[in-house]
Amino acid sequence: MSEALWIIACMVPAGMAVTYVWRLLGVMAVAHIDPESHVLLWVRAVSTALVAALVMRIVIAPSGVLADIGLVSRLAAIAVGIGVFYVTRRSTNIATFASVAALGVLALLVG
Amino acid sequence: MTCQAGRALHNTIIMQDASSPEQDAAAPAYDWSGLWGGMRAALSLPGLVMSCSFIGFGALINSLGFPLLAGAATVPLIWALPGQVLFVTMWHSGLALLLIAAAVSLTAVRLLPMVIGVLARVRLPGAPRWPEYLLSYFTAVTIWVLSVTHLDNVPKQQHLPWLVGLGATLMTAMCVVVPAGYYMADLLPPVLAACMVFFTPAFFLLSLIASAKWRFDWAAVAAGIVLLPLARWFAPDFDLMLAGVGGGTLAFLLFRPRRKGLIGKGQPHE
C-alpha cells in the first residue's frame, strides 16, 4: 500500500504534470495558433513515430505473458491486423480484434 | 450577472427549440444535453476495444508486479495509454524519475496537436472557454478518433458536451476495467492473458494507420517501426527517443507537405 502511494506521489509530477501540460498548451494555442504551421506538423510526425516505436517495442521486446509467445507469431498477428484493416475497408475495430484473435490462434499452433 | 442570466435563458431557448440552431450565431453557447449522447456512445464498439486494451493494461501491471492502486491511478492521472504503459514499464525497469518524466512527456506531445485538432472541430468561438479545458482533460487517441468519425449527426452546439460525456464515461469505466484485468490475468490461461496485452499495440498501430492522411504520417509510422530495432541495438535505454524523435524528424524533413491545410481536416479556423 505504501509502495503504491509512493508511486502515485511520483506519478503526479513525472506522469500527470508532464502529460497535462501539453493538453493545456493545446487549449491555449487553439485560439491563436495557425493550425497549419510547420512546427505542429513536426510535432505530429514525432508523436506518430514515437507511438509506432512504442508498438514495435511491445511487439519485439515484450515483458510478462506476451514474451511467452514467439516473435514470429507476434509479428504475423500485427500483419494480419493490417491486412484485415484494408479488407474491411479500414475498420479499426474489426482489425484490432482480428489481430488479437490471430495472435491467440498462432500461439496455440506455432507457439 | 446579466450575462450569465442571458446565457442561461439562451440555453433554455436552445433546449426547447433545438430545431433552429441558426439563431445561436449571435451569442454562442454549448448545449449540454449532448452529454447523454456521448455517454451512450461510450458503450459502443470503440468503448469495447478500449476496455480490452485496458484489461490488457491491467494484465500488464500484474505481470510486472506493479501495485494495482498505482496502476489504476494512471487512468485519471495520465489518461493516455502509451504514457501509462511507458510509466509502468520504465518504473519496473528502475529508471531515474527524470528519464521516466521525459519519456512520458514525449509521448504526450502528440496530445497537443490532438487537442488542437479536436477543439478546432468542436469549439464555438466566442463561447466561454472553460469547457475547452474540461474537454482537453479527457482528450486522447480514442476521443480524437471518435471526434472525426461520430459527430456528423450531432448538432454543432452539442459537439463539445458530447465528447465530454464520452470521455468522462470512458475514464470512469476504465478505472473499474483496470482492476478487472489485473485480477483476470491470474485466472486467464496464459495465451488469453497475452491476447489481452496485445490489444494495446494492435489498437495503437491500427489507429495510427487509420488517422494517417499525409505522406509524412505514413513515413513517421514506418520510421518508428523500422528504427526501433536499430535504436535498441544501438542504445537500448534511449530506443524510444531515438526512433521517435529521429524517425519523426526524418519523416517530416523528407515528406513535408508543400501545401497547407491540415490538422482541423482543412477546416477554416475562427
Q: Are residues B193 and B233 part of one domain?
A: no
CB contact under 8 A, B228 and A16: no
How many domains in chain A? 2
pLDDT in tens, chain B (270 residues): 444 544 544 444 444 444 444 444 567 899 999 999 999 989 877 788 788 889 989 988 998 899 999 999 999 999 998 899 889 988 988 889 998 999 899 878 878 878 988 898 899 988 999 999 999 999 987 788 778 778 888 999 999 999 999 999 999 999 999 999 999 988 888 898 889 889 888 988 998 898 788 899 999 999 999 999 999 999 887 788 889 889 999 999 999 877 654 444 443 332
Name the DSSP class of A33: S
Name the DSSP class of A35: T
Residues of A with Cβ-Cβ distance to B62 under 8 angstroms: 64
Q: Are residues A75 and A42 part of one domain?
A: yes
Q: Are residues A44 and A24 part of one domain?
A: no
Q: Are residues B205 and B219 part of one domain?
A: no
Q: Are residues A99 and A51 part of one domain?
A: yes
Q: Are residues A58 and A5 part of one domain?
A: no
Q: Are residues B73 and B147 part of one domain?
A: yes
Domain-located, residue B267:
no
Q: How far apart are CA B268 and CA B270, in angstroms?
A: 7
Q: Which of A64, A77, A108 sits opposite B64 (nearest CB)?
A: A64
Question: Which residues constitute the domain of residue A2?
Answer: 1-33
Interface test with A, best of B195, B234, B254 (most A CBs within 10 A): B195
Q: Tell me the nearest-neighbour CA distance from A98 into chain B, angstroms.
A: 9
Domain-located, residue B25:
no
Q: Are residues A48 and A18 part of one domain?
A: no
Q: Are residues A63 and A45 part of one domain?
A: yes
Interface size, chain A vs chain B, as Cβ–Cβ contacts under 8 Å: 339
ipTM of predicted complex: 0.86
Domain-located, residue B80:
yes
> Quick one: pLDDT at residue B230?
95
Q: Which of B87, B194, B260 sits opposite A65 (nearest CB)?
A: B194
Domain-located, residue B268:
no
CB contact under 8 A, A15 and B77: yes
Instruction: Show Cβ contacts of residue B77 under 8 Å, excluding neighbours closer than 6 positions.
Output: A8, A11, A12, A15, A16, A19
Q: Are residues B129 and B93 part of one domain?
A: yes
CB contact under 8 A, A52 and B208: yes
How many domains in chain B? 2
Question: Which residues constitute the domain of residue B174?
Answer: 31-211
Q: Are residues B254 and B128 part of one domain?
A: no
Q: Are residues B75 and B131 part of one domain?
A: yes
> Quick one: pLDDT at residue A24?
96
CB contact under 8 A, B91 and A44: no
Q: Which of B104, B110, B132 sits opposite A14 (nearest CB)?
A: B104
Residues of A with Cβ-Cβ distance to B204 under 8 angstroms: 51, 54-55
- Coil, strand or helix: which one is A34? coil
CB contact under 8 A, B113 and A33: no
